[in-house]
């Protein structure tokens, strides 16, 4: 059963587990489980995804319960009237806070009309460091491994924006097979006893697209985050 965080006549939000695709895609043709189909079966109603999370990302994922509600909700997202907050564990120790203002080239699988218009799009992400830790795990020339828990707030909605921006500031998200360091990811997975992308969609804040009421949906990080030797803010 998918954990339901919020539901009304128009919307439903779940806490998506890491490793679950939102919907079918040719990029992962061997996958057989999808959030859209699982949620449809669980609540007995068709659902429309309003936005996306990467397969490896856990946390708040919003769906609409009708085509009209989906259109209205997507308009809210596309006009950047949504505040999204994420938690991530990254390699190294980033600055206490900052703004990553780094344009991103659209990815080949991004079929959105707005993305087709430009090869490179502006992309901005705010971040702040919540905690730093040093692990007794040798890596390269270092006897220990530094990691940090950070909060990320994307100000634009580019594909894989947070993963690509963390790589750009030389602090890739732990477990990111595309933008991180494979040997370090494997070493950390062995040390933690779990391999995953350590990125979690903590909350969504928006006005309800049909009623206008303020809406805040949250999903605390799962129990697997307790494997890291620090308290979670």
Phi, psi of 199 (to 5 degrees): -135, 130
Instruction: Extract the tokens encoding 19.
Output: 């490793």
List all residues 6 or more positions away from 74 whose beta carbon is below 8 Å from its beta carbon.
50, 51
Q: How far apart are CA 221 and CA 31, in angstroms?
A: 24
Does the active-site annotation cover 54?
Answer: yes
Catalytic residue among 9, 15, 28, 54: 54
Residues annotated as catalytic are 54
């Amino acid at each position: 059963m998918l954990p339901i965080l919020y539901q009304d006549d128009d919307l439903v939000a779940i806490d998506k587990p890491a490793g679950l695709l939102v919907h079918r895609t040719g990029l992962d043709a061997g996958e057989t489980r999808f959030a859209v189909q699982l949620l449809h079966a669980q609540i007995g109603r068709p659902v429309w995804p309003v936005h996306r999370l990467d397969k490896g990302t856990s946390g708040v994922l919003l769906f609409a319960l009708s085509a009209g509600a989906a259109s209205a909700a997507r308009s809210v997202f596309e006009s950047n009237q949504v505040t999204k907050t994420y938690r991530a564990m990254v390699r190294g120790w980033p600055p206490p806070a900052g703004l990553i203002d780094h344009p991103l080239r659209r990815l080949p699988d991004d079929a959105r009309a707005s993305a087709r218009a430009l090869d490179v799009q502006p992309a901005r992400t705010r971040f702040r460091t919540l905690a730093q830790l040093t692990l007794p795990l040798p890596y390269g020339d270092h006897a220990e491994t530094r990691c940090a828990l950070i909060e990320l707030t994307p100000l634009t909605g580019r594909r894989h924006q947070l993963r690509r921006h963390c790589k750009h500031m030389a602090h890739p998200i732990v477990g990111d097979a595309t933008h991180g360091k494979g040997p370090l990811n494997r070493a950390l997975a062995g040390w933690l006893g779990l391999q995953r992308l350590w990125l979690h969609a903590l909350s969504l804040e928006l006005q309800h697209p049909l009623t206008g009421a303020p809406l805040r949906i949250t999903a605390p990080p799962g129990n697997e985050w307790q494997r890291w030797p620090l308290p979670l803010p």
